[in-house]
A and B are shown apart, each in its own frame.
Chain A
Amino acid sequence: MSPEEIQQIYFLECEESLAAAEAGLAACRHGIDDPESINSAFRGVHSIKGGAGAFGYGALQAYTHIFETLLSDVRDGSVTITEPLHNLLLRALDVLSDHVLAARDGSSVPDDAALLAELEAAQAANHGAHAAAEPEPAAAESVDDGDFGIDFDDIMADLPLADSAAAAPAEGRWQVAIRPYAGAMCNGSEPLLMLRELATLGGECLRCDTSRVPQIDDFQLDQGYLDWVFTFPASVECAAVQEVFDFVGGDCALAFGDAQLPPLAPAPARTAAPTATSETGEADASPAPASSAQAAPAAPAAPSGASIRIDLIKLDRLIDSVGELVIAQAMLAQQVSALGHEASEAMALLESLTREIQESAMAIRAQPIGSVFSRVPRILRDLAAVTNKHVQLEVAGETTELDKTVIERLSEPLTHLIRNAVDHGIEPTEERLANGKSPEGTIRLSAEQKSGRIVIRVADDGRGIDRARVLAKAVEKGIVSPDAQLGSEEIDNLIFAPGFSTAANVTSVSGRGVGMDVVRQNVKELGGRIVIESEAGKGSTFTLTLPLTLAVSDGMIVEVGDQTLVLPLANVVESLRPGPGEVERLGVSSAMLNVRGSFMPVIPVAQAIGAGQPGSFDDGVLIVVDSEGAGRAALQVDAISDQRQFVIKSLDTHYRAVPGVAGATILGDGRVALILDVDSLVAGALGQSGRLAA
């Protein structure tokens, strides 16, 4: 594994650590005395610090050091957590997130001077009081949970080194600190064998830290008490050293660094020299419990034992192959059937296995949506700073899983929706109070899996959409013609029109009319749909319905002329054969379908895609579809031949984008069928229905 790859893993872990810290701090807010919550925040920050040192991100390391010192004091109970302090910790976390981004992208380091001063002031205020009340020696500072409650740099300075000259690596050499946890000595693993391998690579033991070894009466066999610092000539790559420890994974913490040792796991050190300890005969510091020491290995690249990281390209290749397998299986089934054989047991088994493999492969890519939801508190805090609107966030269903690609592309629309809800939905405090509402607004974010799709809701308890204002603005901007007669739903949908904004002033939050257009576009690109429900004075709910995966979808196979086409099932509302008088002609080429008293335009698909003249309405089938921009319409096709899963192949990649076509798929008989893009097909056929002028 190359240093770049290790670095990438570090940044991935930073994201996880930030999310854990965020969750920990959020939990603190609700249960202020919960030690585990603050502990998880501390662990998150500490892990980031460990890697920062190893990779030489000085600014990040310096920042996290001060941040974690304060968190450590909060965790120990020597600093009481109050509302202002909680807010300070949250702000510090935001800046930490910026620091991580700066380190990752190589951009400029955020200005953290003022915040650092605040953090230090919060800690110093406590230390003054603490020291005056209870002057205790550093040696007595015990770590109740075995975590990193100690300023490691100080400990390093105090380490009992037999030869202080040996503390620094010789010129031209670099060093790595090694801490095997208890697990590294189990199951046939032996740290000394790894040290031997290091020696083979050219490594030399600079020192062995024995300060955690207890007296014999406190000695526990299942504990690792020794830390090593090994040095290597510059010609040895750190990847080679990392490789030696790949086998033990999280059971051994490593910290690479030339200049100084990055902090490692807890060391409630015996600060007195060994002689002094044996003279007093007292164990003045209890060793860290094995379980908690194991729980927080600080190695930058220590993967968790229960999972492995896989290159996304490899995964995509697997998914592609599985897609081909699905097609091949369908082809085989069709050919067997064409030969007149009855479906055999073996074919049924093959089909169920293929489906199983496909589902398992998709499950590998599935990730909990919580990774996107966890970014929302930060967005809300940033917005609160700009708009002065403080919003409570309620989250549900964050463990709902969906495809990684969907998750990644969901972040942007979700951010826009949250910003929109805060800026336009939630009223200022005075207005809320005047309307008999709580002073702080609430945004509810939820996700659930429903009939093979993911439903995400962003609901606010704000003022709801002011339809009169939206319509007036749309007319003013020329988005809609002044004489248009629009229903509530259609007016609501105007906020998705490009260039639409009701904001009086363009601010950093909103007003450029870009956001909601992007939301609809992004959701559409994901094969999803977005629906607005809004009630004046009560709030608005944006419901996003997304596919679980982008690779495979359900569709209706239809025949139009000599073409076989696929209609995504997500768009289909119902299919019917029109009865007498249900299709009313309007002029020569237009017709309307009357479905239980509701009229919608009929679009002959053959005409829309240029596949010849459509048949008569009496012979064909009408499929009622829901489209984003133009509402419901009835697509006229010749016949429906099947309904099944299909593997989506991008036309953009293999050919070029074609209006009205979302992609292609391969049918069981090997033929290629185009997948219809219902939204653009309907919008194109209706010429935007004459309602939307833009």
Chain B
Amino acid sequence: MTTVRLPARCDRSAVQTILADLAAAIGADPVEIDATQVDQAGQALLQLLVAARYSGTGATITPSDALLQAARLAGLENELFSEVQA
């Protein structure tokens, strides 16, 4: 399983790097996204994580509290953190 680690500050420029990392990582194997360090998340990151969940065999995300709260606020808690359905 490949693990992609997210930085604390996930602003738009950080999301650009994360997109490249995820695009490279997602394939036949499931990907684990370590988001435990994330303390700043916006729509750009949330929708990228949704895309990651939809792609390939999907991805498992381990969130930080900040990311969990952001996802909850945006109504994406289930979408992002439930068991991978693939």
Contacts and interface: CB of A to CB of B under 8 A. Distances in A.
Do A and B pair up? The answer is yes
B19 interface: yes
Interface string A633-673: 00000000000000000000000000000000000000000
A399 to B, nearest CB: 39
Contact of B74 (A162, A184, A195, A221): A195
A378 B41 CA distance: 52
A275 B86 contact: yes
Contacts of B78: 162
A219 interface: yes
Contact of A221 (B12, B41, B70, B86): B12
Contacts of B50: 210, 213, 225-226
A205 B73 CA distance: 7
Interface in A243-287: 274-275, 277-279, 281
A214 interface: yes
Nearest to A214: B51
A224 interface: yes
B44 to A, nearest CB: 6
B75 A277 contact: no
A180 B43 contact: yes
B42 A208 contact: no
Interface string A204-227: 011110100111110101001110
A192 B53 contact: no
A185 interface: yes
Given A192-B46, A221-B19, A275-B86, A206 B55 contact: no
A195 B73 contact: yes
Given A180-B43, A190-B42, A221-B16, A278 B55 contact: yes
A196 interface: yes
Contacts of A542: none
Contacts of A199: 73
Contact of B75 (A184, A185, A206, A221): A206
Contacts of B12: 185, 221
Interface string A191-207: 11001100100000111
Given A216-B19, A278-B55, A226 B47 contact: yes
Interface in B5-57: 12, 15-16, 19, 22-23, 26, 41-44, 46-48, 50-57
A196 B73 contact: yes
A228 interface: yes
B23 A274 contact: no
A278 B74 contact: no
A279 B57 CA distance: 8
A247 B63 CA distance: 31
Contacts of A219: 19, 23, 48, 51
A71 to B, nearest CB: 31
B66 to A, nearest CB: 11
A251 to B, nearest CB: 12
Given A191-B43, A278-B86, A213 B74 contact: no
B70 to A, nearest CB: 6
A221 B46 contact: no
A165 B48 CA distance: 27
Interface centre among B22, B41, B53, B54 (most CB of A within 10 A): B54
B42 A217 contact: no
B44 A185 contact: yes
Given A192-B70, A274-B53, A274-B54, A185 B48 contact: no
A275 B56 CA distance: 10
B60 to A, nearest CB: 14
A216 B43 contact: no
A274 B53 CA distance: 9
Contact of B52 (A162, A195, A196, A216): A216
B24 to A, nearest CB: 10
B86 A228 contact: no
A215 B47 CA distance: 11
A450 B86 CA distance: 72
Contacts of A213: 47, 50-51, 54
Contacts of A206: 75
A208 B51 contact: no
Interface centre among A180, A196, A210 (most CB of B within 10 A): A210
A210 B42 CA distance: 15
Given A216-B19, A221-B16, A228 B74 contact: yes
B85 A275 contact: yes
Contacts of A217: 23, 55
9 contacts: A180-B43, A185-B12, A208-B75, A216-B52, A224-B47, A225-B51, A275-B85, A278-B54, A278-B56
Interface of A: 162, 180, 184-185, 190-192, 195-196, 199, 205-208, 210, 213-217, 219, 221, 224-226, 228, 274-275, 277-279, 281
Given A207-B75, A208-B75, A278-B54, 7 more contacts: A191-B42, A210-B47, A219-B23, A219-B48, A225-B47, A226-B74, A277-B54
Top 3 A-B pairs, shortest CB-CB distance = A205-B75, A208-B75, A216-B55
